[in-house]
Amino acid sequence: MQINGMLTIDELRTMVNESRVDTVMLTFTDIYGRQFGKRLDARFFMENEEPGTHACDYLLTTDMEMNPVAGYQFASWERGYGDVHMKADMPTLRMASWLDRTALVTCDLLHSASQELVEQAPRTILRRQIERAERMGYRVAAGTELEYYIFNNSYRAAAAAKYEGLEAAGWYLEDYHILQGTREEKLNGAVRRHLSQSGVPVECSKGEWGKGQHELNVRFADALTMADRHTVFKQCFKDVADSLGMSVTFMAKPDAGQAGSSCHLHLSLWKEGQNAMAGTNKLGPLMCSEIFRWFLGGWIAHVPEFMVFYAPTVNSYKRFCAGSWAPTRLAWCHDNRTASFRVVGAGPSLRIECRIPGADCNPYLSIAAAIASGLDGIVKQTEPPPIFEGDVYSATEVPCIPTTLREATDLFAASPLVSETLGIEIAAHYVHFFQSEQAAFDASVTDWERRRYFEQI
């Protein structure tokens, strides 16, 4: 079934001939999960049998400010910072209805000489785990639930103010609140409509537990399609907010006094058209399969070593506070929002919701980590801990999740499963990335330090 907003090459050609499209945007995500690429003239794009373009390989080795970072084997000044090839994945061709006469296609990154996939690229990392699941006979379905804060200040004004004293779009907690939601429909409603017209089917939006905080959910899909939708969602939101003179942030914890923003990750495995997690085995209040039990066991067991793929920045770890709706301990429950793993649904809809990832996660990496962990659980028949009932925040006997980027990076670097899953060279690339992120923070002087020490020390 053709999803509204998705395009075939013939449909694109018709729209170009009718002057309804004149630009095709080719994009990929960097390690932070940001969209990069080029805008091509639509006729030029269609002239190639295998559409694509090139980009500098340094884009997988920069810091947030686009500065080249030394120490990578993949790309460096010594290696000359050459090109990678952006190969358009044509089934992802879609309208970008929020932009004027523009279509969008997601790309895989290939080595220019060999035309083989760049293993360091986040989309490739997810592809490899999907392939592993397929070899075991499973299709992975995924959904991501993104939260965000809306501000009435433009991005330029926010930057000029050094992101201090911004005006939140709402002025009281608005979880499920219709009146506050109405006030923010200028942005949320526009984004829902644009996503629906751009191949990203929308379920709903709602107020969240922060001032100006909202959540917008899109329809679940196969794992790769879901990650692609996630990145289109974020780009659309930022572009539309910018056009309205507003701003939106996907920081995990933009304000110490407000709730953090999550990206709850839902996963299920399917085999021969059936949910492989459903079954006749009783596990607490659930009826499930052994596959469900082992996948859950593996996912929980390997959270610490893959934590950087769920919480990739120094700021990510500020979100994990007791009583904040963000998890702090490695427990699983049935329909209990104090746990890091919340099992929901039954029968065909049975799935695992991991509440650990923040809104700042790269979806390709977080979904890949979940698949790798769960499949390892199936292979090793890893049993999950007993189901927990009650307030997980107060359960001091339950292990805590890693609490800093430094701790999580060390666990990632020491993990045999990470090296096995990614390959030694790719694992080293990401260790260097997270260590560089930590080093950038360690070298900075924060506003908190000035407020605390300037006069009083």
Q: Is residue 344 part of a domain?
A: yes
Whether residues 334 and 244 share a domain: the answer is yes
Whether residues 187 and 58 share a domain: the answer is no
CATH number, domain at 376? 3.30.590.10
DSSP state of 285: T
Give residue-wise pLDDT tens across range 195-246: 999 999 999 999 888 999 999 999 999 999 999 999 999 999 999 999 999 9
Q: Is residue 124 part of a domain?
A: no
Whether residues 64 and 147 share a domain: the answer is no
Contact assessment for residue 7 and residue 88, using Cβ atoms and an 8 Å cutoff: no
Q: Is residue 442 part of a domain?
A: no
Q: Quote the tokens at residue 451.
A: 């407020």
Whether residues 65 and 188 share a domain: the answer is no
CA distance 307 to 276: 26
Q: Is residue 114 part of a domain?
A: yes
Q: What is the DSSP string of 143-199?
A: EEEEEEEEESS-HHHHHHTTT-S--BS-SS--TT-HHHHHHTHHHHHHHHHHHHTTT
Whether residues 382 and 301 share a domain: the answer is yes
Q: How many residues does the chain have?
A: 457
CATH number, domain at 49? 3.10.20.70
Residue 49 reports pLDDT greater than 90: no
Q: Is residue 436 part of a domain?
A: no
Q: Is residue 431 part of a domain?
A: no
Mean pLDDT of 342-346: 92
Task: Please compute Rg for the chain using Cα positions.
Answer: 22
pLDDT score at 109: 98
Domain boundary residue, one of 77, 95, 118? 118
Q: Is residue 81 part of a domain?
A: yes
More confident residue, 325 or 60: 60
Residue whose tokens read 């890091």: 340
pLDDT score at 365: 98
Residue 1 reports pLDDT greater than 60: no
Residue 22 reports pLDDT greater than 80: yes
Give strand ranges (E) for 320-397.
332-334, 341-344, 351-354
Whether residues 218 and 306 share a domain: the answer is yes
Give residue-wise pLDDT tens across range 276-326: 999 999 988 899 999 999 999 999 999 999 999 999 999 999 999 988 889
Whether residues 135 and 105 share a domain: the answer is no
CB proximity list for 194: less than 8 A, separation 6 or greater: 97, 98, 236, 240
Whether residues 81 and 166 share a domain: the answer is no
Neighbours of 196 (CB within 10 A): 17
Residue 113, domain extent: 9-118
Q: Is residue 286 part of a domain?
A: yes
pLDDT score at 158: 96
Residue 268 reports pLDDT greater than 60: yes
Domain boundary residue, one of 63, 84, 118? 118
The pLDDT-based confidence of 2 (bands split at 50, 70, 90) is low
pLDDT score at 383: 96
Whether residues 98 and 137 share a domain: the answer is no
Whether residues 113 and 136 share a domain: the answer is no
Please state whether the predicted TM-score (pTM) of the whole model is above 0.75: yes
Q: Name beta bridge partners: 273.
A: none
Whether residues 92 and 138 share a domain: the answer is no
Give residue-wise pLDDT tens across range 83-111: 999 999 999 999 999 999 999 999 999 99
Give whole-number Cα distances, 413 to 319, 433, 435, in Å: 23, 11, 10
The pLDDT-based confidence of 48 (bands split at 50, 70, 90) is confident
Give residue-wise pLDDT tens across range 108-142: 999 998 999 999 999 999 999 999 999 999 999 99
Q: How many domains does the chain have?
A: 2
Average pLDDT over the chain reads: 95
Mean pLDDT of 174-181: 87
